[in-house]
């Protein structure tokens, strides 16, 4: 591997999401199943001579120093004392505020790739801990496997979920995760379930009722997608998705829904495309 290569930052889906409690600091305790899809942002890195971390193409509306890739690179420097600098370039394909975890995935790709390029030798566990400081969704992207998650999403156990084709519909709205977790009507006391319960079909998302009330277009997207398959909300939205056993069925839904909605056709994968590219071995 070398400088200048493009590295994938895949999207995730929450195949179910239950809120089972709340910590003293206000963060919510969850049970969720994460799986990756082969829809990706792409990030490349080149060395800078002045030791600074800079973005070649800041995302409109996101100040450079707030960008999760910049924050991830600065955190690595601060944690290790590394004096290197880097130029980061992001090819942004994943919708923001969509519940696909794009910003978190960009951060994880930055942590894993710079750890290699800068020769820092940090373990996956350490990178997951650093990731958690950036956001609750970052650890799973560092982990790189479909996972059953608890805590705020940092207690992860690898799981295998069936291979599926996926259609994702992106309603024309951005959902603020914080706003959903602050909502009065949010269910916060769901009974914990097991992976067996999930596999038997218990796959609801506790955020859906609040999200649907606040954003009627998300309810409409669920209704539209339900004509083709079982439609679910990922994370706190805005995206909704359905899984299909065959590419043909998925493609039919993708084409028909694409006449009205912003849609994506993707394949579910158990292993993150980033980890597949990084290969086995030491992080
Ligand atoms: C709930 C999930 C499921 O994947 O939703 P999505 O963001 O993917 O839609 C995530 O865990 C979200 O993770 P992430 O998007 O990284 O959230 P963070 O930046 O850590 O938190 C944003 C805000 O949401 C609230 N928050 C987040 C996670 C959590 N378990 N409990 C919370 O109460 C907190 O108020 C926090 O300030
Ligand atoms: N590299 C990045 N890509 C996307 N969003 C980013 C990035 N860096 C910071 N953000 C901020 O994080 C917010 C959530 O983005 P994102 O992870 O795409 O959504 P979600 O958590 O709903 O999947 C964005 O609205 C943006 O303000």
pLDDT digits (tens, 9 = 90+) for 64-75: 999 999 999 999
Paired residues of 42 in beta bridges: 8, 91
Distance CA 144, CA 49 (A): 31
∠ CA(73), CA(74), CA(78), 5° rounding?
Answer: 120
Which residues fall in the annotated binding site?
95-105
Q: Is 99 in the pocket of ligand 2 (CB under 6 A)?
A: yes
Average pLDDT on 7-17 reads 98
Q: Is 96 in the pocket of ligand 2 (CB under 6 A)?
A: yes
272 phi, psi to nearest 5 deg: -65, 135
- The confidence score (pLDDT) of residue 2 equals 83
Closest protein CA for atom 19 of ligand 2: 97
Q: How far is the CA of 6 from the centre of ligand 2 (A)?
A: 20
- The confidence score (pLDDT) of residue 195 equals 93
Domain range list for the chain: 6-159, 165-269
pLDDT in tens, 204-233: 999 999 999 999 999 999 999 999 999 999
Is 165-269 in CATH node 3.30.70.890?
A: yes
Which residues fall in the annotated binding site for ATP?
95-105
Total Cβ atoms within 10 A of residue 82: 16
Q: Retrieve residue 105's tokens.
A: 């995935």
- pLDDT band, residue 76 (cuts 50/70/90): very high
Average pLDDT on 267-273 reads 95
- The confidence score (pLDDT) of residue 281 equals 52
Count of H helices and E strands in the chain? 10, 10
Q: How far is the CA of 256 from the centre of ligand 2 (A)?
A: 29
- DSSP assignment of 72-83: HHHHHHHHH---
Q: Is 105 in the pocket of ligand 1 (CB under 6 A)?
A: no
**ipTM for the whole complex:** 0.95
Mean pLDDT for the chain?
96
Q: Which residues are catalytic?
A: 12, 137
- The confidence score (pLDDT) of residue 280 equals 61
Closest protein CA for atom 18 of ligand 2: 96
- pLDDT band, residue 7 (cuts 50/70/90): very high
pLDDT in tens, 161-174: 988 999 999 999 99
Q: How far is the CA of 246 from the centre of ligand 2 (A)?
A: 31
- The confidence score (pLDDT) of residue 1 equals 79
CA dihedral angle for residue 40, residue 46, residue 48, residue 54, rounded to 10 degrees = -10
Is 6-159 in CATH node 3.30.230.10?
A: yes
Q: Is 67 in the pocket of ligand 2 (CB under 6 A)?
A: yes
Q: Is 97 in the pocket of ligand 2 (CB under 6 A)?
A: yes
Q: How far is the CA of 178 from the centre of ligand 1 (A)?
A: 7
């Amino acid at each position: 591997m070398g400088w200048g290569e493009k590295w994938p930052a895949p999207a995730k889906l929450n195949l179910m999401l239950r809120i089972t409690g709340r910590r003293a600091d206000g963060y919510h305790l969850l049970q969720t199943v994460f799986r990756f899809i082969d829809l990706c942002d792409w990030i490349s890195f080149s060395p800078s001579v002045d030791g600074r971390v800079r973005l070649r193409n800041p995302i409109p509306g996101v100040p450079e120093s707030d960008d999760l890739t910049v924050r991830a690179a600065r955190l690595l420097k601060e944690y290790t004392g590394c004096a290197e600098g880097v130029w980061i370039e992001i090819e942004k394909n994943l919708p923001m505020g969509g519940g696909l975890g794009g910003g978190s995935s960009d951060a994880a790709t930055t942590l894993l790739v710079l750890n290699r390029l800068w020769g820092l030798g940090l373990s996956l566990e350490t990178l997951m801990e650093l990731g958690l400081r950036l956001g609750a969704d970052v650890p799973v992207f560092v982990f790189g496997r479909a996972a059953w998650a608890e805590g705020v999403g940092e207690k992860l156990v690898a799981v295998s979920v069936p291979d599926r084709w996926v259609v994702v519909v992106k309603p024309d709205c951005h959902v603020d995760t914080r706003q959903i977790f602050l909502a009065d009507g949010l269910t916060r006391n769901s009974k914990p379930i097991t992976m067996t319960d999930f596999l038997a079909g218990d796959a609801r998302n506790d955020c859906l009722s609040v999200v649907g009330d606040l954003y009627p277009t998300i309810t409409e997207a669920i209704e539209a997608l339900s004509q083709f398959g079982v439609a679910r909300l990922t994370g706190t939205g805005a995206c909704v998705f359905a899984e299909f056993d065959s590419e043909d069925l998925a493609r039919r839904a993708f084409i028909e829904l694409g006449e009205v909605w912003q849609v994506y056709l993707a394949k579910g994968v158990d292993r993150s495309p980033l980890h597949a590219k990084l290969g086995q071995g030491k992080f």
